[in-house]
Copies of this chain bind each other. A is one copy, B any other.
Amino acid sequence: MNKWVYIFSKEQTDGEAKMLDLLGGKGANLAEMSKLGLPVPPGFTITTDVCNQFYKNDKKFPEDLYDQVSRAINQIEELVKNQFGSNQNPLLVSVRSGARSSMPGMLDTVLNLGLNDSTVVGLAKKSGDDRFAFDSYRRFIQMYSDVVLNIEHHYFEDILEDYKLENDYILDTDLMGNDWKNIVDLYKKEVSNITGNEFPQDVNEQLWGSISAVFLSWQNNRAVTYRRLNDIPDHWGTAVNIQAMVFGNLDDNSATGVAFTRNPSNGDRRFYGEFLVNAQGEDVVAGIRTPQNITEEARLDANSDDISLEKLMPKIYENLIDLANKLESHYLDMQDIEFTIQQGKLWILQTRSGKRTSHAAIKIAVDMHEEGYITKQVAISRINPASLDQLLHPTIDQETEIEIIAKGLPASPGAASGKIVFSADDAEKASNEGEKVILTRIETSPEDIHGMHAAQGILTTRGGMTSHAAVVARGMGRPCISGAGSLRIDYDSGSVFVNDKVYKAGDIITIDGTSGNIISGNVKMKEPDLSGDFQKVMKWADQIRKLKIRANAETKLDATVAKNFGAEGIGLCRTEHMFFEEGRINSVREMILAKDEEARRFALLKLLPMQKNDFVDLFKVMGDLPVTIRLLDPPLHEFLPHAEEDFAEVAGSLNIKVDDLKQRVSELIESNPMLGHRGCRLGITYPEIPEMQARAIFEASVQMKQEFNQIVTPEIMVPLITSKSELQIIKDVIDLVAIEISKKSGIKLNYTVGTMIELPRAALRSAEIAEIADFFSFGTNDLTQTTFGISRDDASKFLQEYVDKNILEKDPFVSIDVEGVGELIEISATRGRSINRKIKLGICGEHGGDPNSIDFCASKNLDYVSCSPYRVPIARLAAAQAEIKKK
């Protein structure tokens, strides 16, 4: 018999924290807390295996599940001395999702399940509170209808609004027991109108409807999107947790809240949280009411007039602090705890490792190591490398005069400027057009994720630090201000009103997610200060990692940024970028338009001193660190104009006829430029080009030695080879120039010659190529394009669909396709090393800054990755994590 159901309770608990994969995060921790003796309402977990079975078997449950659930319900009935469906002591339960990795708000939840026309009477009698009982019933009807019957909220909200208008009520609290009873009747009528069926009165029907709905929600659009953005595989599935209800909304001696054992925003070791009196748990997270602070300290900091839990219920507060400490030292990580106080009794409903900003992640990791809780390795593993991104970006320059419009909660740090947009769709649209936007909403919901992702920053007028907007923005590394209550948004007119000013869609604002300031217009930003804990973590990472980290850089500025971020060399200097600069593009074009070798050499001679200076600049920054210089790669037509309107101007500046220019462009134009006359193929047709580039490199080397007594070590990289012969031909050109310049200058030149491995054939022929190559650099962009036969420029038409339909787990241009491209890299590395034991191997595609890809590179024992300068710290950390994982 398969065990599908795991009980948790004071008396019997089948699961534990380690059973995360099977029970999901919530279920495993409920079990663990029950074992630890914490006050957890009893319940049981239906495993993630059931979820997978459900989808495998055409959305049918395993036969023996029904019996196991029924027996588990019986056990809970006995424990809480209530009965499911009883009109005397009705057992009410919550039905919640619980995936292996937290997916806040993505999956469905049903509360107060077990209420019907008869049990509600029992609840009213038992609680002595008609109002509470019927309010709970109408909440249940609304939630169940939404989640199980697919009836949208607004039908019920309209009924409630109408009822309030008819009865001159303003607030929900104006409604008495009888009113809610009437509402319940109206709600039930609406359900019957829409579905053609009565609202289900059978509590078991309610239960199974809800269980199905939660499992079904695993595949709803927002959950699928969230998983994609967060790299959560589909096959993990969700568990379902069914638990006896406790009520934070019974009276003013009841409350509900969320707490963190440390501050999730800055990482301070201070208990931190928010709560609402007389409310149900979802009210805090949903951000509908702005909650109160738990600690007095936080209340004072926030300058709030609302009483803290510390003052309101000091005993409960003590108890909560105590349990929180217990949980943190048990789990050895900062905990995010959900609790409910029912008529003076504290219940813990959930604990989990708390989401945190990357700033907080670093501080907490460093502190907990220094407090003796965790090793350096564990500390390093706790920080999501990708999230470092938000630390590395500019913040607002404090010296600048800024016009503060308003203030909100500093929900996710970092600053961002952009045009105001009011919907997720607008944000996405504008972002696709290259605009920077601030998504400005009353509140956000899971439907808004794509817009949050597309925006530079998020601003909401409602909700606290744990609201949807805040949690998701922190996860994404987007700056966010939440609960900016002084702003009033009018979606219809596309305006934000604040004091006596109006901002319209398209106006530029800046948000500072670290201070909560909302600022008018663009603001001068400052480079981030990466000292203290950040440097500690980087140092630990450097001690652990084996993979070297280099940067892709062509300019002095980029090289400097990279070096400051800890780059150990330049892994890719794309010389063509240098060709586009003003003052030389004309010489480049002259070279391309040359009618014969002589004319080409003449034009190249003009480029030589400029190209030489490029390299001197780079060498000056990088000192004796290696600098990999890639010879000219793109097809020549990329340097010529293609648009009708540009021909005249370019022809004029070159002093040639427009028709001659057009003629040459049409000669050079290609059907598939990606697979055209480029890379080493150019150098083979026009050896004078690599000859000039080699000359520039070596003359720069000589100058460095003569002027600065600096010995530099350029690594000259030949792109797009498919065979040893091609590399040999270009290498011969390079070596000849080296001999000549070495002789002339009397200076010994230190250089190596290697190649990109960026075509499948090069990967396969690596053994013979390695005979003459000093290094291989895997050009994973092109290698991905050719291995998949997908042009990156054209992929947008179908690649997203591929990811959505799960044909590809991830965009292979973002994260290395281990199964295909990865195998070619592995083949190449193995064959290359079999011939040339000392060959240096690295990657220099955009994958070089992607943690998953770095993990792959480390697992194949490559020597280095090269990434964009801003991703160097990410790569350092990811490389360390990869090393830890290997052990």
- A782: which of B758, B785, B788, B789 is its contact (CB, 8 Å)? B789
A319 on the B face (CB < 8 A): no
A722 on the B face (CB < 8 A): yes
A window 801-837: CB within 8 A of B:
801-802, 805-808, 817, 819-821, 823-824
In the complex, are the beta carbons of B677 and A675 less than 8 A apart?
Answer: no
In the complex, are the beta carbons of A791 and B670 less than 8 A apart?
Answer: yes
A671 on the B face (CB < 8 A): yes
Chain A interface residue count, CB cutoff 8 Å, equals 47
Inter-chain CA distance A109–B241, complex, in Å, is: 94
Q: Which residue of B lies closest to A793 (CB)?
A: B671
- A786: which of B787, B797, B801, B823 is its contact (CB, 8 Å)? B787
Shortest Cβ gap from A213 to chain B (Å): 27
A window 745-759: CB within 8 A of B:
758-759
Shortest Cβ gap from A665 to chain B (Å): 14
Binary interface profile of A, 653-683, with partner B (CB < 8 Å = 1, else 0)? 0000000000000000011111111000100
A708 on the B face (CB < 8 A): no
In the complex, are the beta carbons of B673 and A807 less than 8 A apart?
Answer: no
Inter-chain CA distance A320–B785, complex, in Å, is: 66
- A764: which of B684, B759, B805, B824 is its contact (CB, 8 Å)? B824
Inter-chain CA distance A237–B883, complex, in Å, is: 54
Also in contact, A759 and B788, with CB within 8 A (given A672-B673, A798-B685, A802-B684) = yes
- In the bound complex, residues from chain B placing their C-beta under 8 Å from that of A808 are 723
In the complex, are the beta carbons of B793 and A677 less than 8 A apart?
Answer: no
A794 on the B face (CB < 8 A): yes
Inter-chain CA distance A793–B671, complex, in Å, is: 6
- A805: which of B729, B765, B807 is its contact (CB, 8 Å)? B729
A486 on the B face (CB < 8 A): no
Shortest Cβ gap from A687 to chain B (Å): 11
A530 on the B face (CB < 8 A): no
A227 on the B face (CB < 8 A): no
- In the bound complex, residues from chain B placing their C-beta under 8 Å from that of A729 are 805, 807
Shortest Cβ gap from A815 to chain B (Å): 15
In the complex, are the beta carbons of B801 and A684 less than 8 A apart?
Answer: yes
Shortest Cβ gap from A31 to chain B (Å): 36
Inter-chain CA distance A802–B722, complex, in Å, is: 11
In the complex, are the beta carbons of A798 and B677 less than 8 A apart?
Answer: yes
Shortest Cβ gap from A58 to chain B (Å): 15
Inter-chain CA distance A785–B788, complex, in Å, is: 12
In the complex, are the beta carbons of A798 and B681 less than 8 A apart?
Answer: yes
A164 on the B face (CB < 8 A): no
A725 on the B face (CB < 8 A): yes
In the complex, are the beta carbons of B725 and A819 less than 8 A apart?
Answer: no
A426 on the B face (CB < 8 A): no
In the complex, are the beta carbons of A759 and B673 less than 8 A apart?
Answer: no
Shortest Cβ gap from A834 to chain B (Å): 15
12 A-B pairs besides A670-B793, A676-B794 with CB distance below 8 A are A670-B791, A672-B672, A673-B794, A674-B789, A675-B786, A677-B794, A725-B806, A726-B807, A760-B789, A761-B817, A765-B819, A786-B786
Nearest 9 Cβ contacts at the A-B interface: A675-B791, A672-B791, A761-B820, A671-B793, A759-B789, A760-B760, A676-B794, A725-B807, A670-B794
Q: List 7 A-B contacts (CB under 8 A).
A: A672-B794, A684-B807, A685-B801, A760-B824, A761-B817, A782-B789, A786-B786
A-to-B contact residues, CB < 8 Å = 670-677, 681, 684-685, 720, 722-723, 725-726, 729, 758-761, 764-765, 782, 785-791, 793-794, 797-798, 801-802, 805-808, 817, 819-821, 823-824
